[in-house]
Amino acid sequence: MNTTMTKTTSPPLPLSPSPMPDVQGAADARNVAINKVGVKGIRYPITLKQAGGGDQHTIATINLYVSLPKHKKGTHMSRLLEILNKHHRAMTSAMIVPLLREVRAKLDAADAHIEMEFPYFIEKAAPVTGAKGLMDYVCTFEGTSNSVDDFIMGVRAPATSLCPCSKDISERGAHNQRCAITARVRTKGMLWIEELVKIMESAASAPVYAVLKRPDEKYVTEQAFDNPKFVEDIIRDLAVALNKEDRVLWYSIESENFESIHNHNAYAMIEHDKREMQKPEASSQ
C-alpha cells in the first residue's frame, strides 16, 4: 500500500481502518537471543516511604529491560512505559519485584530488569549546634526477575577522609578531602536507606553536613583529625560493620577519595557474599 509516495507537504492521512502491521511481533531467523532490550534514561517522579514515617517525593532515572528469545523479532517498548506510568506514584523498594513480574507477564518475557537512580534527602543536625539541613544521597534500586527474584539497594554517601600517613609524617596538619562511599547490598528483611547511611558514615574519618556553624566546624575538623583513615581503612571498617549487620547477605562497597594533594583519586573496593562464606565453613567441619 506504500508504493506511491509524494514528497509534498500534505496533512496526515486519516487512519486506515485495517490494522497496522505488528513489525515487532514478527518471527526472527537469526537464531540470536537478546539478554536485555528496552528503554533507557527515562526520568520520572517517584514517591518513597521514609524510615521515620511519611513520604518523600523525588526524581528517578530509570532503565527497564526484558530478555528476548531467539525467535521473536522485537519487543513492545511502549508497554514498558505504560507499566512505569501506572506505578510511579508509589515506588517503594518492595514494589520493584512485583513491577518486574508484571513486566514479564505483559511482555511475555522470561526475564525483566530494572535500574533506578535517584537522590534521597535526609535531614541532618549539625553535631554541636544542632542546626538542621537536608543532605542528599544518590541511591539506586536494581532488580531482576526470572526464575528467581533479585533486588540490590545502593547508596552513595559523601564523607570526609583524613590521611594517616600525612598526619603521621607532618609536623602540623594532615591532608583531608571529601570522599564518595558507595554501598550496594542484598538483604533479608527491610533495611532502610537511613540505616545504611548511618553505617556508611561511621566508617569515614567524619561525616559531612549540609549546615555547620563555627562550633560545628571545630568539632568535625577535630573529629576527622582524630580519626585518620586511608581509603583502605574506610572500606575495611565498612566491611566489618556490614559483616555484623545480619540483614545484609551480600555487599559491594567502594570509596573514591578526591585527594586534596593530587589531581587523581584514591579508590578501594570490596565485594563479599556472606552466603558463600558460610558454605565452605560448614564443609570444613
CA 223 to chain centre: 29
Quick one: cell of 91? 515506588
To the nearest 10 degrees (0 to 180), the angle between helices 77-87 and 96-106 is: 150
**148 part of the interface to a second copy, by CB under 8 A:** no
Compute CA distances 121 → 48, 124, 207, 243, 269, whole Å: 11, 9, 15, 26, 25
User: How far apart are the C-alpha atoms of 51 and 37, rounded to whole Å?
Assistant: 34
Residues 89-108: x/- map of binding to a second copy (CB under 8 A)?
--------------------
Which of the residues 265 through 284 are near a second copy (CB under 8 A)? 265-271
**Per CB under 8 A, 132 contacts a second copy:** yes
How many whole angstroms separate alpha carbon 158 and alpha carbon 17?
Answer: 58
In the complex with a second copy, which residue's Cβ is closer, 192 or 225? 225
Of 117, 136, 149, 150, the one binding a second copy (CB under 8 A) is 136
Q: What ranges make up the beta strands (E) of 105-175?
A: 112-125, 132-145, 149-162
Number of shown-chain residues binding a second copy (CB under 8 A):
122
Nearer to a second copy, 19 or 189 (CB): 19
Part of the chain binding a second copy (CB under 8 A), chosen from 36-44, 97-105, 186-194, 276-284: 36-44
Q: Which of 17, 18, 27, 32 is close enough to bind a second copy by CB under 8 A?
A: 32
Among 48, 68, 109, 153, binds a second copy (CB under 8 A): 68
Closer CB to a second copy, residue 66 or residue 152?
Answer: 66
CA–CA separation, 157 and 231 (whole Å): 14
